[in-house]
A and B are shown apart, each in its own frame.
Chain A
């Protein structure tokens, strides 16, 4: 039972354009969501988070949108850069960020 789903295994975007990564969840108890990026042979790097009391959070080029009624969140990267090429994971928690449930990841490739 996948509680967090990233339905796009991969995404290719031109440098300078917007990258939109999507994530769906099924557990209505989730109240905290995070996005990470991961390069090969490295641990994940935290990017941005959002709690369920908000519908948007922004940090530099990264914006996360949360639609609770649709149980959907998305990460927007604007503008996309070649260094953003990595695997992106969304994660959700019903316990203030502890016991994260991760999606399977989306491979982002930014072409220069």
Chain B
């Protein structure tokens, strides 16, 4: 399919381990967004990219979180020394333009930190 894909779909890890979450946006989309949804909550903004640049990283919860995007395509969200409060569904979205919001979401990665 031509939609946004994310991997893995599920990840269970132990507290203190590092995890990498991957997002493959729709080809040609300039903007890429990361959000997360904790149980029973709305979506929380983490970071967005315009091309390979992240104009605003203020949504990242702590310095344990980092993200990069390469080649204007694939993005990786890395969480170091995971904590139980990091457990959530991590959602990636892409959009063709740099305005107008997140238009196409992937299915998400469910992260569980034991």
Known: A44-B91, A101-B45, A103-B42. A91 touches B101 (CB 8 A): yes
Could you name 8 residue pairs across A and B whose Cβ atoms are closer than 8 Å?
A: A34-B101, A44-B91, A44-B105, A97-B95, A100-B35, A100-B43, A100-B102, A104-B42
A96 to B103, CA, bound (A): 13
Indicate the size class of the contact surface on chain B.
20 to 34
Give the interface size class of chain A.
Answer: 20 to 34
User: Which A residues are closer than 8 A to B by beta carbons?
Assistant: 4, 32, 34, 36, 41-46, 49, 89, 91, 93, 95-105
User: Interface of chain A, helix or strand or loop or mixed?
Assistant: strand
Contacts of A32 in B (CB 8 A): 100-101
Complex Cα–Cα for A105 and B40 (A): 9
Contacts of B73-114 to chain A: CB distance below 8 A: 91, 93, 95, 98-108
CB distance from B107 to the nearest CB of A (A): 5
Q: Are the C-beta atoms of A44 and B100 separated by less than 8 Å?
A: no
Evaluate whether A43 and B41 lie within 8 angstroms (CB atoms) in the complex, with A91-B101, A99-B48, A100-B102 already known.
Answer: no
